[in-house]
Amino acid sequence: MSARKVLFSVLGIAVAGLGLIGARPWLAAQISNGDASATTIALGKTLYTKHCAICHGANLEGQRDWKSPLASGRMPAPPHDASGHTWHHPDGVLFRITKEGPATVVGGGYKSDMRGFGNIMSDDDIRAVIAFIKSTWPEQEREYQAEMSRREREKTQ
C-alpha cells in the first residue's frame, strides 16, 4: 500500500473517530473548487479579507507560532495556505468550523478565539470563502482535500 493511501486511511479513521462524519445538515455544504466560478472565488476573497484576514492573515499565512498556545491557553489562528492544516479537512468540516466555530467541532470544552460566522455570513458566503481558500492551494493539497471530501460524502450517503 502506498504511503498516500495509508495517510488517507489513517486520517479518514481519525476524522470518523472524532465524530465529525455523519449525516448532518452541514454536509450539504460540499464545496467543489472545480465548480467554483471566478465570481464565487472573487466574492470569497472579498469576504475573507473582510472577516478572516485580521486573524488568519492577508496572505492566508496565519498568526506567528500558530502551533504554540497563546498566553490565554488558546491556539493562534492557523494559516489557510498550504503550510497549514486546513487542506487536511473535508468540506463539511471546514464549513461547520466556519459557520459554528471550532469549539463545536472539536468538542471536549475546546476554547477558541474564533467565533462562528453563521450569523454574519450566509451559507453561500461561507462556501465562497472556502472556495477562495481552496483556490490558493497547490494541486497536491487540492487533490488530497478533494479525496477527504469525497470520502466524507460516501460515508454519509
66-111 pLDDT, tens digit each: 999 999 999 999 999 999 999 999 999 999 999 999 998 998 888 8
> In the chain, what are the domains?
24-156 (1.10.760.10)
Average pLDDT, integer, range 111-129: 96
As a whole number of angstroms, the distance between CA 123 and CA 96 comes to 10
How many Cβ atoms are within 10 Å of 82's Cβ, its own excluded?
A: 14
Furthest CA-CA distance within the chain: 45
* Mean pLDDT of the residues in the chain: 83
| Weakest mean pLDDT among 4-18, 52-66, 100-114, 131-145 | 4-18
% of the chain at pLDDT higher than 90: 69
Average pLDDT, integer, range 38-49: 97
Non-local CB neighbours of 4 within 8 Å, separated by 6+ positions = none
pTM of the model: 0.78
